[in-house]
Chain A
Amino acid sequence: MSGEFEEFGGRHVPEALEEPLAQLAEAFDSVVPTEEFQEEFQYYLKHYGGRPTPVFYAETLSEIYGADIYFKHEDLLHGGAHKLNNALGQALLAKHAGKERLIAETGAGQHGTATAMVGALLDMPVTVYMGTKDIGRQEMNVFRMRLMGAEVEPVTRGNKGLAEAVDAALEDFAQNMEETHYLVGSAVGPDPFPRMVREFQSVIGKEAREQIQELHGELPDACVACVGGGSNAIGLFSAFLDDDVALYGAEPGGTDDSHHSAPLSKSKQEEPQIFQGMKTKVIDDDTENHSVSAGLDYPAVGPEHAALQSLGRAEYHAITDDEALDAFQELSQAEGIIPALEPSHAIALAKKLAQEDRHDTILVNLCGRGDKDMQTAAEHFDLS
């Protein structure tokens, strides 16, 4: 079956969604490799998005942590997170395929914002589904989306978070698939989404691999990225899969063993589940889905990460809310860079790896900036 990563992935959807997804897969396979598409995509990534984003050597933090820490500065991409890479790629593809409308789910609001941006840019109407829990904690992004003309549809069912927003978007897609493209925000869902999102995010790894060799003289010993659905992580990892470079995903460990969103590092079951159209790892039934970071607050994970773990090619570790918040403050004070709460998990994991002396040079994907999290930070660190 198409879109499999070892025993994970696939396309587990009602029959009515099979054909539109098969058509999307076909468009992806035939259009994306063409010179014409690539030229257009690269043009917008450069002149609209501001690519390439730099790699930065964090000198002070390296001293504190005891290993050389490099950051891939995806927080400097237009919009403030890596999400634009994928949104641009999919929106351009959707235009090619004759779609007129974009819908998206969002957790932190970064993917919704990126979709609103490309919708405005390419003149396509946008509807973004967002759980009311996340609307509350990522309000600035709700304002940004609305300002750019997107409709933000509050989702009130279940846990009122990212997973429910995906459900609502899938439902819209099933109703309106003829004219609508569902612009999935992470490397999750039925085929072709996981491999398509990886392709559009792979620019992160390709650039970083060159840049770090220029700056540091050789490849890093390890790459670290946070994993919600896993798009920024797979974008970085994909360039290093054949290298002798260790790969680490930082999962949201939440507050304790029964409140987290870390299926790869904390789930007790061996068997994959079928979830939102893919076969993958999901948190246990008795676990409450929770993360301080809205973008990581997702009970499952992209199938390719489940495969990389089962192959032993990548390791996944849980980082608690508190560890992430500490890293958030540490980077802000050491380097004058305020990271988003999502990559704060990756920074915290890099700190552990450094302090355990496991690696000398660590490349961290700084996949988003923290402006959207200032409300949470102000409360946590008593900044007002």
Chain B
Amino acid sequence: MAENEAIAAAFADGPAFIPYLAVGDPDYEASKAYVEALARGGADIIELGLPFSEPIAEGSTIQNAIVRALEGGMTPSRFFEFVTELDVDVPLVCMTYYNLIYQYGRSRGGAPGPDAFVERAAEVGISGLVVPDLPAEEADPLREACDDHGLDLVFIVAPTTEGERLERMMERVSGYVYVQARLGTTGAKTDVSDQTTRSLQRLSEWDVPKAVGFGISSGDQAARIVANGADGIIVGSALVDIVAEGASSERPVEETAAELEAKARELAEGTREGAARRSPDVDAI
């Protein structure tokens, strides 16, 4: 399995802070400013949501972000253009749904299957993919395309993932594994379940970094989770909330960007702090 070097490097000197935003939310230019603000705030990797009209079982925060982005005219081609124009120097991971990846080649008159999408993603500098509705047992064609083009394929492990499903993911994952901290759809929550520790223990044998996400919204939470052994922190809804507020209040883009940068900084600092607090024996899990 190919390993993307940029992603490996992002985890090389300590736990990574990985923010998420839906690209094009609420429009192309503002969204670019927002993603760049995250990079300035200390993101180590950025997850870019490519809006899809039928996201299944997303929480309303991200669902609404996707609707705003689609209404703002976001499409796969615009997404790739966006990534090309983006002025950031951290690795980018694209999060989208399998139907879009699968149909991309055909919609351009080519063969069905994931290769055309992955090829284009690699061309614009995407380092990895997260595909929430792709069962690991159906992932081989995408895994192969990712290998061919040097992308990582990240899987999401839920608190309930066990047995065969867990093993299939372990065999196919690269880059990092997305550890879902609790059940429910995405959305910022103030509590961080102790399920996280148990999940991290279950994955202790995996040789990829473990990034924890779902419901993280403060630097304190980030620090605690990293202190408990996480190799990375993924934050989506708490950041999307800031974009949503900006979109509804119609305040200037710069103000929202500044707020995003500040939130990113808080979360990035929390991530580093957690690493410093980590007791030596935690590394063992």
Binding site for B on A (CB under 8 A): 1, 10-20, 157, 167, 170-171, 173-178, 269, 271, 273-277
A-B residue pairs, 10 tightest by C-beta: A19-B160, A174-B57, A16-B158, A274-B99, A14-B132, A15-B158, A174-B185, A175-B184, A170-B57, A15-B156
Beyond A18-B165, A19-B161, list 8 extra A-B contacts (CB 8 Å).
A12-B135, A14-B156, A19-B162, A167-B56, A170-B57, A175-B185, A275-B54, A277-B56
Query: Which of B58-66, B143-151, B266-274 interfaces with chain A?
Result: B58-66
Q: Which residues of B contact A277 (CB under 8 A)?
A: 56, 133
| Measured CA separation A11–B165 after assembly (Å) | 13
By beta carbon, the residue of chain A nearest B178 is A15
A-B contact pairs, 21 of them (CB 8 A): A1-B135, A12-B56, A14-B156, A15-B132, A15-B158, A15-B165, A16-B159, A167-B56, A171-B63, A173-B57, A174-B183, A174-B185, A175-B184, A176-B184, A271-B106, A273-B103, A274-B99, A275-B54, A275-B99, A276-B54, A277-B56
Interface centre among A10, A13, A14, A157 (most CB of B within 10 A): A14
| A18 cross-chain contacts in B, Cβ below 8 A | 135, 158, 160-161, 165
Closest Cβ–Cβ distance, residue A300 to chain B (whole Å): 10
- Cβ–Cβ < 8 Å partners of B159 in chain A: 16
CB <8 Å contact, A171 and B57: yes
Closest Cβ–Cβ distance, residue B61 to chain A (whole Å):
11
A15 with B180: CB separation less than 8 A: yes
Cβ–Cβ < 8 Å partners of A11 in chain B: 135
Main secondary structure of the interface of B (DSSP, over half): loop
Instruction: Give the residues in chain A near B56, CB-CB below 8 Å.
Output: 12-14, 167, 170, 276-277
* Complex Cα spacing A157 to B70, Å: 13
Cβ of B58: which chain A residues have Cβ within 8 Å of it? 171
| Listed residue (A1, A11, A16) with the most chain B CB atoms within 10 angstroms of its CB | A16
B49 to chain A, nearest CB (A): 14
- Cβ distance B176 to chain A, nearest Cβ, rounded Å: 15
Q: Contacts of A171 on B, CB cut-off 8 Å?
A: 57-60, 63, 185
In the complex, chain A residues whose CB is within 8 Å of the CB of B138:
1, 10, 12
The residues of B that contact A1 with a CB separation of less than 8 Å are 135, 137-138
Residues from chain A with a CB closer than 8 A to the CB of B34 are: none
Question: Does chain A have a CB within 8 A of B238?
Answer: no
CA distance A173 to B184 in the complex (A): 8
Known pairs A175-B184, A271-B106, A275-B99; A15 contacts B137 (CB<8 A):
no
Whether B112 contacts A271 by the Cβ 8 Å rule is yes
A9 CB to nearest B CB, Å: 12
Q: In chain B, residues 8-37, which have Cβ atoms closer than 8 Å to a Cβ of chain A?
A: none
User: Cβ of B79 < 8 Å from any Cβ of A?
Assistant: no
